Amino acid sequence: MRNLCMTLTYDGTAYYGFQVQPGGNTIQDHLEDAIRALTGEKVKITGSGRTDAGVHARRQIFNFSTESQIPIERWCIALNSRLPSDIIVIDAVEVSHDFHSRYAAKKKTYRYTVNANQFPDVFNRRLQYHHHAKLDIAAMQEGLRHFIGTYDFTSFASRKSQKDNHVRSVYEAWIEVDRSMCRDHPRDQGVIHIYVSGNGFLQHMVRIIVGTLLEIGEGKRKASDVPNMIAASNRSAAGPTAVSCGLMLWDLEYKKD
């Protein structure tokens, strides 16, 4: 048996998330179907983690065991020709038998994109949440800084979270503002990319952080209140969950063997 590790990228708009669900039509379903069509084997793949329905990945990792002797350099093209056009495998390597995509992940980075210009960007509308009201971006940056550190993030997890332990470490978090689509118009505030990087994330965690930052940007909450929201360990202390389409699994870092 070989243990193969693959990198993929996907537009999550049409799918019910990464992980297999009773209703089907997940990224994992399509990958397992493509591997079965190619090798005849019914495999179960392991992803670095789940992404929710509608969430995208610039870079996601999965691994699986196979008896197939197909040379490693053929896998990307062979799988891509059996996958829908919004899921693309971009790298394939053979790894040691004990490699596990989830356990070996050291750091994950998500990016959430808020288009704060007057009009939606028609060519990126599936990848952005369009928010046309005035935002105080400096206050959002201040609020975001309070998430860096190791905390119990119960206030920032879905009430449906089934994890026993809600302690997670956020290593870095920053905002980049892209003004390339701005016209000379006061309602064009730029496209705001919010990056959050850490050792792992609870269900909806990045989207609740963003929903809270948007309320801070609107002046409904104070940036300096974030530590109290975290300390409350209560979902109702934080802001709403931002819509899924703005979220993208941006990057993954793995332990060196």
d(CA 204, CA 110): 12
x-marked contacts with its own copies along 34-63 as a string, rule CB under 8 A: ----------------------x-x-----
Find the part of the chain contacting its own copies (CB under 8 A) among 22-30, 62-70, 80-88, 236-244.
Answer: 80-88
- Stretch of 61-69, 116-124, 198-206, 235-243 lying at the interface with its own copies (CB under 8 A): 116-124
Among the residue ranges 64-72, 86-94, 145-153, 161-169, the one whose residues contact its own copies (CB under 8 A) = 86-94
Residue among 77 and 232 whose Cβ is closer to its own copies: 77
Is the separation of the CB atoms in 135 and 213 below 8 Å? Answer: no
15: its two tokens: 């799918």
DSSP string, 164-186: S--EEEEEEEEEEEE-TT--S-T
- Using the rule CB under 8 A, is 243 a contact of its own copies? no
Would you state the structure tokens that stand for residue 107, as one six-digit string? 């750091």
Amino acid at 188: D
Does 240 help bind its own copies (rule: CB under 8 A)?
no
DSSP letter (8 states) at residue 18: S
CB of 229 to its own copies, least distance (A): 32
Supply 104's token pair. 């070996």
110 is in an annotated binding site: yes
Q: Give the residue, chosen from 125, 159, 163, 179, that forms a contact with its own copies under the rule CB under 8 A.
A: 125
Number of residues that bind its own copies (CB under 8 A): 20
**Tokens 């269900």 label which residue?**
203
Tokens of 136: 């105080």
Interaction between residue 85 and its own copies (CB under 8 A): yes
Q: Give min distance, CB of 91 to its own copies, in A.
A: 9
CB of 234 to its own copies, least distance (A): 36
Q: How far apart are CA 190 and CA 62, in angstroms?
A: 34
User: How big is the CA angle at 177 (ends 10 and 252), to the nearest 5 degrees?
Assistant: 35
Question: Do 140 and 195 meet the contact criterion of CB atoms below 8 Å apart?
Answer: no
Binding range to its own copies, per CB under 8 A, among 46-54, 94-102, 112-120, 223-231: 112-120
Tokens of residue 180, six digits: 């390339």
Distance (Å, whole) CA 193 – CA 176: 5
| Under rule CB under 8 A, residue 119 binds its own copies | yes
Report the catalytic residues: 52
In whole angstroms, what is the distance from residue 116 CA to residue 223 CA?
19
Looking up tokens 């006061």 gives 186
- Give yes or no for residue 71 binding its own copies (CB under 8 A): no
Using CB under 8 A, pick the residue from 5, 6, 10, 193 that binds its own copies: 10
Query: Judged by CB under 8 A, which of 123, 160, 162, 180 binds its own copies?
Result: 123
Q: Residues in the site for its own copies, rule: CB under 8 A?
A: 9-11, 56, 58, 76, 80, 85-88, 90, 118-120, 122-125, 127
Annotated binding site for substrate: 110
